[in-house]
Amino acid sequence: MNVQLIPAQEATQRWSSALALKHAEPLGSSDSLQAPPLSTKAPLPFDLIIDVRSEGEFALDHWPGAVNWPVLDNEERILVGTLYKQTSAFEAKKKGAALVAANIAKHIERHVLDKPKNWQPLIYCWRGGNRSGSLSLVLSQIGFKVHLLEGGYKAFRQQVMQDLESLIAPFQFEVIAGPTGSGKTRLLQTLKKQGAQVLDLEGLAQHKSSVLGFTPNQAQPSQKHFDTLIWEQLHHMDPARVVFIESESKKVGNLSVPEALINAMRASPCHVVELPLACRVALLIEDYPHLVEDPLLFQKKLQALIPLRGQEMVRNWCALIEEGRIPEVVQSLLINHYDPTYFSSMKKNFKQLPSALVHVLEGHETSHFEGLSKNLLNLHSLGS
């Protein structure tokens, strides 16, 4: 049987080494500042990473770039589990074997018939047992060399968490700070377009990190997948180059930022972005159109601030929303809620804030952030 068991540490190291080689390829002169793009295909030494767990398990978290070939789908997994508990392990295994065999046949028909003999997949399931073993056996009998992840997804998850601290340690971060509405996210996006390395935690978390910061019709990833996304991003970055990151708290929506990353951020140099209050109000109205367009949703979300700001203030905000006076609500939220909270947290947690470079912008148009981004990149080119 041509199946090679591979420990999670070795598998992730091979994956990481392949990425490093890929990123070391020379770039054209016009792309000299560009960070390498995130790969949508698993790099060598594996031609494909195959997750055979159910689609529900896969959605919660998976190896970056993996494809999902369930050998038992959500409903089938429940059926087999119920048989196991209510009837017997023997009956469950018989039913499971029939379902697994049928699903493997479908995957071979759909995905494998065009593969060359030297195709080498990496396969995993939850613990590296029956589900991944079944597909690995069939593919190896065909003649493919198969890597089977020892310990399965559980071992991969443990490796991700072990790796995060050592991955974070070599990086030099620079924190983009500033009160709510000052355009921190817009600056990060502009920096990225101009070739800087950016770790956008809010983008990965699908949340703007405040009571009103949810993304409409977009659930946040699981905590496990958030950790994996950070792990993947760091693998795609060069520790010799600075990484710009926003001044987040420990939580981004319902997700926790890894402790090693929070500690690194809080010890890093800061850049403070300042905008006139009227520009901040305008920027937030642009960035939160779903609240402007849905007054009832806006009022509902504000109820979470009652314990902090009191019923009377929240009632006043809701009355202003009812009258369509959105700019007044946003300005009051900034003055009475967001600014006091933000500045208190920053002074407490970010050690280098007193020595931060302050960048005052006259407006929130794209040109202002492009100019600031170029200045920040020039600072680094002069210092290198």
Per-residue pLDDT of the chain (384 residues; tens, 9 = 90+): 689 999 999 999 999 888 777 665 543 333 333 444 444 444 457 999 999 999 999 999 999 999 999 999 999 999 999 999 999 999 999 999 999 999 999 999 999 999 999 999 999 999 998 999 999 999 999 999 999 999 999 999 999 999 999 999 999 999 999 999 999 999 999 999 999 999 999 999 999 887 787 777 789 999 999 999 999 999 999 999 999 999 999 999 999 999 999 999 999 999 999 999 999 999 999 999 989 899 999 999 999 999 999 999 999 999 999 999 999 999 999 999 999 989 889 999 999 999 999 999 999 999 999 999 999 999 877 554
Whether residue 43 is preceded by a cis peptide bond, meaning omega within 30 degrees of 0, is no
Tell me if residue 125 is catalytic. yes
| Closest C-alpha among 250, 243, 237, 234 to residue 269 | 243
Please state the pTM of the whole predicted model.
0.91
In this structure, which amino acid lies at residue 161?
M
Backbone angles phi, psi at 4, to 5 degrees: -110, 120
Tokens of residue 159, six digits: 């490796």
pLDDT at 123: 98
The strand pairing partners of 68, in sequence order, are: 51
Q: Report the pLDDT value the prediction gives residue 214, as an integer from 0 to 100.
A: 77
Burial class (CB in 10 A: 0-12, 13-18, 19+), 322: exposed
Contact 290, 216 (CB under 8 A): yes
DSSP 328-384: HHHHHHIIIIIHHHHHHHHHHH-TTGGGPEEEE-S--SHHHHHHHHHHHHHHHHHH-
Which are the contacts of 299, defined by CB distance < 8 A and separation ≥ 6? 317, 318, 321, 322
Catalytic residue among 125, 270, 279, 318: 125
230-to-166, 197, 227, 246 alpha-carbon distances in Å: 13, 13, 5, 14
Euclidean distance between CA atoms 202 and 176, whole angstroms? 13
Domains identified in the chain and CATH numbers: 3-19+33-161 (3.40.250.10), 169-383 (3.40.50)
From residue 239, how far is each of 18, 20, 169, 173, 350 by CA, in Å? 16, 11, 9, 10, 22
Question: Given this model, what pLDDT does residue 234 score?
Answer: 96
CB atoms within 10 A of CB 163: 18
Task: Return d(Cα 313, Cα 180) in angstroms, integer.
Answer: 19
- Mapped onto helix, strand or coil, the DSSP state of residue 255 is strand
Residue 22 has a pLDDT of: 67
Radius of gyration in angstroms for the set of CA atoms belonging to the chain, rounded to a whole number: 25
**Number of neighbours of residue 172 by Cβ within 10 angstroms:** 14
| Residues 186 and 286 sit within 8 Å (Cβ to Cβ) | no
Chain-centroid distance, C-alpha 324: 35
Q: How many CB atoms lie within 10 A of CB 133?
A: 17
Residue 333 CB neighbours (<10 A): 23
Q: How far apart are CA 1 and CA 4, in angstroms?
A: 9
- Report the C-alpha gap between 120 and 139 in whole angstroms: 10
